[in-house]
Amino acid sequence: PGRLMAEAQGQGRMHVAVLGAGGIGCWLAARLALAGQRTSLLARGASLAAIREHGLRAAAVDGSTIGTCGAPALSVHGAAEEVDAGVGVLFVAVKTHQLAACVPQVAALLRRSPSALVVPMANGVDAHDVIARGLEESGGSADGVMGGIARSVVYISHSGTVVLERELGVAVGPIRACAPTCAQLDALRAVSRLLTDVARVSCELIETADAMRTALWTKFLVTGCLGPFSAAARAPVDVLMSTAETTAVVRALMEEMRDVGAAGGVRMPDGAVEDALAICARSPPGTTFSTTRDVLGGRPSELLEFCGVVVRLGRERGVPTPSHAQLLATLLPQERVARGELAYELRGV
């Protein structure tokens, strides 16, 4: 980590790897590569083929091109292909329900770059636990697993093109119970400077695990309930927040999440629910979350990692979560269909 910090300070030549070619993964890879950083993007399927053939294109919401990047700054790898040694940080930017399946790729990269930091940029509050547990169960070390938050609104318009709608930045920091070493904190500072000063992506460094958990749960209050509830209501966030009945449900969902987090030792800020509600109330017309779009599109979503996690943790911590339990039950049949676990047809009676 000390060597990596020196490299990042010396014109930012840290080797950065990004696992996942969705919106956040492609945006981070594009911003880094366009700034001349050595960047490896681990992709698959249509995205892998498109980026290899045409490069990775970053676009503004009006369709104009911000830049297109490819070799030598950006190298693209398939699931079975090894990334060169010397990676300083691996950003894991896949959907939360895909994390466990990605652990073998993370483990393979760590075997070649054992000092690399692993920073998940997934939604929810337990991405770091999923990765760490998978690494330990496979006989590896989870010492380098950190915490990460992506607050930007980006999406893939078609394979190989990532669109920036609203860039708010990211945050990195320690997250596990064990205290980070000085070298790890130095490496995190190097990552933060690299993103902020070179790639021009605002990156906040959160220096303690307690503060990182608070930040994760504060974001979770918004994304963890609005994504599933917006899907169940089949309405965008601005409509939910302008209707008294649905706003009351949003409040109940957030209050349950706040109480579950607090019961687990998370120091939720005073007024956290009111602040989250205020954020939702400022949503532009038509705003939806990726979970909403996945459910309505019939794709596997993060339902179990959102509502499912709140219900499970509530049960373990003795906190009632009736609103989340009902929302989970409402969407669960569709989720099981999307994951290939169930098939049915609707008939008139």
Token pair 């089949």 in the structure block, residue: 234
Q: Quick one: pLDDT at residue 162?
A: 85
Q: Given this model, what pLDDT does residue 96 score? A: 92
What per-residue confidence (pLDDT) applies to 9?
39
Residue 61 has a pLDDT of 80
Predicted pLDDT at 151 = 84
Q: What is the pLDDT of residue 177?
A: 67
pLDDT attached to residue 1: 41
Question: Measuring CA to CA, which residue among 124, 122, 327 is closest to residue 231?
Answer: 327
- Return the CA Rg of the chain: 20
Q: Given this model, what pLDDT does residue 15 score? A: 94
Q: What DSSP letter does each residue of 15-36 carry, written as one string? A: EEEEE--SHHHHHHHHHHHHTT
243-275 burial, b if ≥16 CB within 10 A, otherwise e? eeebeebbbbbbbbbbbbbeeeebebeeebbee
Mean pLDDT by 10 residues, the chain (349 residues): 41 82 90 92 89 88 86 88 91 94 94 94 93 94 93 79 80 83 88 92 92 95 95 96 97 98 94 96 90 94 96 98 98 96 89
Decide if 107 contacts 141 (C-beta within 8 A): no
C-alpha 69/C-alpha 27 separation (Å) is 11
C-alpha to C-alpha distances, 319 to 129, 226, 257, 316, 322, nearest whole angstrom? 21, 20, 9, 8, 10
- Supply the pLDDT for residue 310: 98
